[in-house]
């Protein structure tokens, strides 16, 4: 899955943003819906699946291991699974493109199957450490040979039966937790993950929904998630809610561009993912939840966001796990707030698609924003609602969230901001620029 040719893009300011949009399906849920459907016996149906490059990489890998996955003209995906323990030996290397989620979760799936798989990825993914997943999966019996630094390409030889373990997460990571739980699906006995700091819980919810025996307990050590192995998963019909990480860009954009009034439909508001809504409201954002409801076990609402005067805050560290992917666009909101915003507690940003702390500091400084970099976040002095100077060029570093976050910053800048490469947006939000044109009144 080669990375597309760089697409240089200059983004001008917007007069205002008005209208209703529906963001793509939640990326985390889309990955998990495909994986668990591929391990169920029978046909599952998924509506609203995110059709970005990352999720398509997951679908391609599952097809290579025996699942039949098809999409109809109406955008409904059908998955005929192979059953837990039924994954087949792939004939070629599994190309993960830019998707760390695909890589880490599929490593978990394969770890307890008697097959061998080689994982490859693009330059950005190949620079990201996999040791945090390699460690627990190796304890379960998988034989993993990685490139120097615990990086891709790597080869994983699964063990069946694998060994159930109890594993305490050294860092808050939903991907590591999910990889161990997915390995536990085909492992005799009970596999346990202890997370001292809660992370997004889509895996636990969806595993239980497919029929796995999952127990979640609150203890003095933190949340303990137990899964009983050798499960038989039942096929499901799933409607994927809108991705809160994608909605985040419009929440911030509508908040900072004067005169804006935007409704974002069908946004997933799982409490383990809603940290940005909490942080923006602390800053004074005008966000109203319309028609709150539950869809497929996940809380959902339409969000109406109107322009508001934002105030600088010190972001509580305990919000970090619930908004880790939204920090780049939170940094943008801070650039337009009154006073200083201190957003720390996010060490994990150093090992995302890029070093998002360094990347956002460089991008904001190039466009006239006063920024102080810390080892775990940024402090940002805002404009008090005025436009930032702009006029700089952003190095997006093959990172979709850097590209979209700085597009949002450009919407209230005195001079247009240029992205050196806008193509990474395709990994998670293929319609992003079309929807921007729609909200700004520039759609054809």
Question: Which domains does the chain show, CATH number per domain?
Answer: 9-25+241-439 (3.65.10.10), 27-236 (3.65.10.10)
Is 30 annotated as ligand-binding? Answer: no
How is 249-278 classified by DSSP, letter by letter?
HHHHHHHHSTT-EEEEEEEE--TTT-HHHH
> Is 293 annotated as ligand-binding?
no
**Taking Cα atoms as reference points, which of 142, 104, 145, 140 lies closest to residue 121?**
104
Residue 27 in marked binding region: yes
From first to last of its 444 residues, the chain has per-residue pLDDT tens of 455 678 999 999 999 999 999 999 999 999 999 999 999 999 999 999 999 899 999 999 999 999 999 999 999 999 999 999 999 999 999 999 999 999 999 999 999 999 999 999 999 899 988 999 999 999 999 999 999 999 999 999 999 999 999 999 998 899 999 999 999 999 999 999 999 988 989 999 999 999 999 999 999 999 999 999 999 999 999 999 999 999 999 999 999 999 999 999 999 999 989 999 999 999 999 999 999 998 767 899 999 999 999 999 999 998 998 899 999 999 999 999 999 999 999 988 987 888 999 999 999 999 999 999 999 999 999 999 999 999 999 999 999 999 999 999 999 999 999 999 999 999 889 999 999 999 999 765
Find out whether 32 is annotated in a ligand binding site.
yes
352 annotated binding-site participant: yes
99 annotated as ligand-binding: no
Nearest CA to 300 out of 238, 355, 357, 347 is that of: 238
- The total of other beta-carbon atoms located within 10 Å of residue 217's CB is 12
The pLDDT score that the predictor gives to residue 355 is 93
* pLDDT number for residue 2: 52
Q: In what order do the strands lie in the sheet with 116-120?
A: 94-95, 116-120, 151-157, 143-147
Return d(Cα 236, Cα 34) in angstroms, integer.
11
Residue 145 host element (H or E): strand 143-147
- Which parts of 261-376 are beta strand (E)? 261-268, 286-295, 298-306, 340-343, 370-374
Q: What is the pLDDT of residue 74?
A: 94
The SS3 assignment for 108 reads helix
- Say if residue 28 carries a ligand binding annotation: yes
* 245 assigned to a ligand binding site: no
What CA–CA distance (Å, rounded) separates 77 from 71? Answer: 4
Q: How far apart are CA 12 and CA 7, in angstroms?
A: 16
Q: What interhelical angle do 27-39 and 100-111 show, nearest 10?
A: 20
Catalytic residue among 95, 325, 399, 421: 325
Q: How far is CA 298 from CA 18, 138, 207, in A?
A: 27, 33, 13
Contact assessment for residue 324 and residue 348, using Cβ atoms and an 8 Å cutoff: yes
- For helices 327-335 and 244-256, what crossing angle results, to 10°? 0
186: Cα within 13 Å, side-chain hemisphere? 28
Judge if the upstream peptide bond of residue 40 is cis by omega within 30 degrees of 0: no
- Length of the chain in terms of residues written: 444
- Cβ atoms within 10 Å of 363's Cβ, excluding its own: 28
**Is residue 325 annotated as involved in ligand binding?**
yes
Q: How far is CA 7 from CA 164, 361, 421, in A?
A: 46, 22, 5
**For this structure, is 381 an active site residue?**
no
Asked if omega into 153 is within 30° of 0 (cis), the reply is: yes
Going through 327-442 in order, the beta strands assigned E by DSSP cover 340-343, 370-374, 377-381, 388-390, 393-394, 413-415, 417-419
**Spatial CA neighbour of 412 closest among 252, 285, 256, 261:** 256
How many angstroms separate the CA atoms of 324 and 133, rounded? 18
- Side-chain-facing half-sphere of 271: CA atoms under 13 Å: 3
CA pair distance 329, 308, nearest whole angstrom = 16
Distance CA 433, CA 116 (A): 40
Report helix, strand or coil for 218: strand
């Amino acid at each position: 899955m080669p990375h597309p040719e760089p697409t240089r893009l200059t983004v001008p300011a917007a007069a205002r943003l008005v209208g209703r949009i529906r963001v793509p399906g939640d990326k985390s849920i889309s990955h998990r819906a495909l994986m668990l459907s591929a391990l169920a016996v029978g046909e599952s149906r998924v509506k609203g699946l995110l059709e970005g490059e990352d999720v398509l990489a997951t679908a391609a890998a599952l097809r290579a291991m025996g699942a039949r996955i098809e999409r109809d003209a109406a955008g409904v995906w059908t998955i005929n699974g192979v059953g837990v323990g039924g994954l087949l030996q792939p004939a070629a290397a599994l190309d993960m493109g830019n998707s760390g989620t695909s890589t880490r979760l599929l490593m978990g799936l394969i770890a307890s199957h008697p097959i061998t798989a080689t994982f490859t990825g693009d330059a950005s993914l190949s620079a990201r450490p996999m040791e945090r997943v390699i460690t627990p999966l190796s304890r379960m019996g998988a034989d993993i040979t990685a490139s120097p630094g615990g990086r891709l390409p790597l080869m994983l030889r699964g063990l069946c039966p694998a060994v159930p373990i109890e594993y305490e997460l050294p860092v808050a990571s939903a991907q590591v937790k999910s990889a161990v739980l997915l390995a536990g699906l085909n492992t005799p006995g009970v596999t346990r993950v202890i997370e001292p700091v809660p992370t997004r819980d889509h895996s636990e919810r969806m595993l239980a929904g497919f029929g796995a025996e999952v127990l979640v307990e609150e203890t003095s050590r933190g949340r303990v998630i137990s899964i009983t192995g050798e499960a038989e998963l039942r096929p499901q019909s799933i409607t994927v809610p809108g991705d809160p990480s994608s909605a985040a860009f419009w929440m911030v954009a509508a908040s900072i561009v004067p005169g804006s009034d935007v409704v974002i439909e069908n946004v997933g508001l799982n409490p383990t993912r809603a940290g940005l809504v909490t942080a923006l409201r602390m800053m004074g954002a005008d966000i109203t939840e319309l028609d709150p409801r539950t869809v497929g076990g996940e809380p959902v609402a339409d969000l109406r966001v109107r322009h508001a005067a934002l105030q600088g805050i010190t972001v509580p560290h305990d919000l970090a796990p619930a908004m880790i992917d939204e920090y780049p666009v939170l940094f943008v909101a801070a650039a337009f707030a009154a006073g200083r915003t201190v957003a720390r507690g996010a060490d994990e940003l150093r090992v995302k698609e890029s070093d998002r702390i360094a990347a956002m500091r460089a991008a904001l400084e190039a466009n006239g924003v006063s920024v102080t970099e810390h080892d775990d976040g940024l402090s940002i002095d805002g404009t008090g609602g005025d436009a930032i100077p702009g006029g700089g060029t952003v190095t997006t570093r093959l990172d979709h969230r850097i590209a979209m976050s700085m597009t949002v910053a450009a919407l209230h800048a005195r001079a247009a901001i240029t992205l050196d490469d806008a193509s990474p947006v395709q990994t998670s939000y293929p319609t992003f620029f079309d929807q921007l044109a729609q909200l700004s009144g520039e759609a054809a």
